[in-house]
Structure 1
Amino acid sequence: MRAAKLPYFERVLLFAFFFSFGILFYRCLFTLSLNYTFFLWNLLIAFVPYIISKRLSTCKTLNAKALFLLTLWLLFFPGCIYLFTDMLQMHETNFPIIYDVCMFLSFAATGMLPGLMSLKKVETFLSHHISGLFVKLSILLSIFLSSYNIVLVRFLHLKSWNIVADCKRMLHASEKDILFPESNMHTWISIFILVLLIDLVYAGFKQLNRFERVRII
């Protein structure tokens, strides 16, 4: 019996993953250093929302299972965008900076792809169960919450495990941002820039996906 063929998008993801891995492997081999191997872990985390969204697509109704999957998806979705901030971890070495930039962009793009597709699957699922306006608001809220999470973790120097293990610190940071927005303008500007960028990239991704579907037909 012939094995089921992977969907085209998943074959692209696998190619992108091994391409990024190859770039990192060559760098580690050439420099005899394990710097930037955290890219691999962050990339694997970025694939989780896509896996969850595929499971969500099998749900026929907006039941408890679907709500649980949506919550789980929202917890992992920021990881797809988080890869774009990994460039802040780059530092000067004897290795060509242009190579490191290309490696960063490769991992960032590879991590973003499953995130965008998972967001589209979530939007499609919600459109079958709630009105169009609430679907758009839900997607925008998801992007906003993900952007806020990234700002907390990356720019306010909260570690990812503090979101679970140190809720008090996280809530204190959130309280200051909400109650005293004028004193934390840099935080809100960073959030809204991220929201705008993600929304624009997602809109472009949907248009490209629609064009590919029409071309195939």
Structure 2
Amino acid sequence: MSPRVFLLYLLACLWCCIVLNLRMQMAGHHYYAFMLWNLFLAAIPLGLSLGLRRVRRPILALPLLAAWLLFFPNAPYVLTDLMHLSEHPGGVPKWLDLLMLLSFALVSLGLGFQSLHIVQHWFARQYSHATAWCVSIGALGLSGFGIYLGRFDRWNSWDLLHRPASLLSRIATYILHPMAHTRTWSFTLGFGTLLIFAYLFWFSSVPTAQDNRKLD
């Protein structure tokens, strides 16, 4: 990731903070302060992927890749915060709430896609283009499931370490009894497909460079 792109993301995060602060000042309450935490979680995969670029041996990359995959759904998860539109209006125009939620959602999604692009490039270097694309599509599909677990079941990424038995048991229930959880798999399929298309559009707009040509 070039310094120019990094600076752009910093400015975009600053923009989100400015819009959120304006919204809280106008409403007189801090209900949407949790958006800052969500933005921070969305940035974690990017930080992990930047560390991955310095790892050459696949065996040493496994812990970093596992952590990245665990936190990656937090980036597209912010899209579902649009469900909070019109909550606790406090006299704030709906367009401002929409602007704020869209700003956080799009910036978070951009952070996630940037991290995925770095991971994809790493796999392309280590293995093959086909492997890299399989990893990317798989991660996006799994994110649909991860978003469901976070939005509706209220699980967090760190619950895999804090409450692994409960989380894995819940996941096993969904897998072993899919027909009893049609909403879960419909959501997973729908959002997973949306994220795949969104990433393909994002990827197609990445400027052609020597590093990027290896993935074309």
Aligned position for 2:62 = 67
Q: Any idea what the Cα deviations from partners look like across 1:81-109, whole Å, max 9, x if unmatched? A: 11111122341523211211110000001
Q: Does residue 79 of structure 1 match 2:74?
A: yes
Aligned position for 1:49 = 45
Q: Is the 8 A contact 2:71 2:157 kept in 1?
A: no
TM-score of the superposition, structure 2-length normalised? 0.88
For structure 1, list consecutive stretches of 5 or more residues without a partner in the other structure.
1-5
Q: Which amino acid aligns with 1:101?
A: L
Aligned position for 2:214 = none
TM-score of the superposition, structure 1-length normalised? 0.87
Q: Any idea what the Cα deviations from partners look like across 1:138-197, whole Å, max 9, x if unmatched? A: 222212222211111112344555444333332232222111111111110100111111
Superposition RMSD on alpha carbons, in Å? 1.9
Q: Any idea what the Cα deviations from partners look like across 1:99-128, whole Å, max 9, x if unmatched? A: 111100000011111110110000000011
Aligned position for 2:108 = 111
Figure out how many residues of one structure are paired with residues of the other and give that number. Answer: 207
Aligned position for 1:3 = none
- Structure 2 CA distance for aligned equivalents of residues 157 and 88 of structure 1: 15
For structure 2, list consecutive stretches of 5 or more residues without a partner in the other structure.
211-216
Runs of 4+ in structure 1 off by over 6 angstroms are none
Q: Does residue 147 of structure 1 match 2:144?
A: yes
Q: Which amino acid aligns with 2:44?
A: V
Change (3 A) 1:85 1:163: farther
- Structure 1 CA distance for aligned equivalents of residues 156 and 83 of structure 2: 14
Q: Is the 8 A contact 2:73 2:143 kept in 1?
A: yes
